[in-house]
Structures are given as structure tokens and as C-alpha cells.
Amino acid sequence: MERLRRKSQYIFTLLANAYWLFPWRSPIYQGPLKKICFPGLNCHSCPAATMSCPIGALQNLLATLRPSLQMGQIHFGAYVLGSLGLIGSIGGRMPCGWICPFGLLQKWLFLLPVPKLSFWRPFRMGPYLFLVVFVVLLPILVVDPLGYGSTWFCKYVCPAGTLEAGIPLLSLDQGLRCAAGWLFAYKFIVLILLLIWCTVTSRPFCRAICPLGAIYGLFNRISWLRLRFHPDRCVQCKACLTICPTGISFYNGLDDLNSAACIRCLRCLSICPANAVSLEFGPVQEDIGKAVNTIES
């Protein structure tokens, strides 16, 4: 299972960044694939990006909500939210564990042999804060005299934009290098701090910041694909907690197995020696005894 997941992460990272003609043609891909929102966090200003970033696209639509309303158009992000909701309703937060290039980067960084720190649980509210304030409210409410807002999350927070777009584009273009000022310096420091955090804590961006994960996480309990914990089989070995990249402690009832923090990597399913975790796909089961279409681990 873990090998399959690794392959999936590599394949989707390559698919999301498959435009390698940028040194010779246009600095970023401008083809029709950019009409599609990539299910993971991947900046669409990255020179190699083939699809659009859902968080960037949502902010852009909300930042231009007032002018679009004045022109008689209702562009509130239905296309982006519909795309994310459709994916989320099927697999919940599975794209975070199986598709997201920034998740893959965090996984690599955490493998570095440095002392590790545990994650402070109140930070779990962070993704919702960033989603509501930086992705939704600020782009709508803080506008210029013409009614145009800004993409606050991209501008002041997103490390993926700095890493995947800022650094490569500034390296390639002297004009952009000359235009870079305090904002780039600030974003670069944010990126460095986050990368350091990734080396000492497992998936800190997913757990404390990512607004895309916050959206997908809302579907974890009601998606077609869900995990099921069988407490009667559990031997309390804690193998699931040890291996969980987001530190979900469901074996002792502290967390729900399908909590919004679960990135559906399915490592708990693979490692459990007592088959106490299973995967199910279908309507929500009211009674465990009536479970149908259940795939045992």
C-alpha cells in the first residue's frame, strides 16, 4: 500500500508539473489544461505547472467578486468549490496523502535525521483560520477603490508559491529579480521557517496551515470512502499512532479515525497487526454489523 501511495505521489507531482518547455517558450504553461483545478496544492505560476491551483483560483474569484457582480456575473467560486467538493465527497482528504506535491515534499523533509518535535494540538485549528480569514474574508472585504481585492493567502502565506514559482521565475528572469523587494524577502523567510519546521515535525503545513486540506477535511466523515475502527479487535499496540503522519490517536478514543486531520494515507490500515482498521466505500453505515462493501485491512 505504501509503495502504491509513493508511486501515486510521484506520478501526480510529475503530471502537475509536466511543462518543461518554459526555458524556451512562454515562462509558464498557457494551454487548456489550466482550466482544470489540480486536486493538490501546486502553484499555477510554477513554470512547469500544467493545471491551476484551486486555492489561488478561489481567491482570484473572490477578490474580483464585487466587480463581477457589478457586471451582472456571479463568480463566487462555484467551479472551484464544486470541483473540490466532488473530490472531497468521494475520498475526503485522500488527495492530501496521495496526490499533493507539497505533501510529498513534507514527507521527504521529515525523513532527515534531525531531532523531532511533537505537534501542538491547538494548531489543528490553523487551517480553518487560514481558510476563513485569508482565503475567503480578506479577499472579499479588503478591496481597492475599484472593488478589487487581493489574494491574501498567496501573497502573505503560501510557501508553495515561493518555492515552486517565486524562486524559479526570479532565477530565470532578471526583470522579476529587480522587482523583488521586501515582500519576496518576507515570503522567503516564511518558506525557510516552514521547511525547517517540516524537518522536525511531521506534515506541519497540512496540520496547521493548509486551507485546501481544511476543505477536504470537512468531507472525511461523510465521504464515500471512510475508515472504520474496530475497538474489539484492537490490541492497544499504538502502531497506528506511531506511524500516523498527522498524529491521530484513535485507538484510545481521543480522536475520531475519520477526523478532519486524517490525510487518508492508509498507513494505519497497513500496519495494524490485529486488522482493527478497515476501509469501506459506500453509504454511511449506522451499524457496524450491517456493514456492506467493507474491505478488510
Interface residues with other proteins (CB under 8 A)? 27-30, 32, 34-35, 37, 43-45, 51-53, 56-57, 60-61, 64, 68, 73-75, 77-86, 88-90, 150-151, 154-155, 158, 161-162, 165-166, 169-170, 176, 179-181, 183-188, 219, 222-224, 282-286
- Between 127 and 159, name the residue whose CB sits nearer to other proteins: 159
Least distance to other proteins from the beta carbon of 251, Å? 25
- Between 191 and 263, name the residue whose CB sits nearer to other proteins: 191
Distance CA 272, CA 244 (A): 11
Chain centre to alpha carbon of residue 265: 13
For the record, the C-alpha cell of 25 comes out as: 517558450
3-state secondary structure of 276: coil
Least distance to other proteins from the beta carbon of 58, Å? 9
Least distance to other proteins from the beta carbon of 86, Å? 5
Least distance to other proteins from the beta carbon of 114, Å? 27
Distance CA 107, CA 101 (A): 10
> What strands, in cross-sheet order, belong to the sheet with 294-296?
225-229, 277-281, 294-296
Least distance to other proteins from the beta carbon of 183, Å? 5
Distance CA 106, CA 224 (A): 27
Chain centre to alpha carbon of residue 98: 10
Chain centre to alpha carbon of residue 182: 27
Least distance to other proteins from the beta carbon of 277, Å? 20
- Between 147 and 247, name the residue whose CB sits nearer to other proteins: 147
Contacts of 87 by beta carbon, 8 Å cutoff, 6+ apart: 39, 95, 216
- Between 154 and 272, name the residue whose CB sits nearer to other proteins: 154
- Between 169 and 240, name the residue whose CB sits nearer to other proteins: 169
Q: Is-contact 213 88, C-beta < 8 A? A: no
- Between 271 and 291, name the residue whose CB sits nearer to other proteins: 291
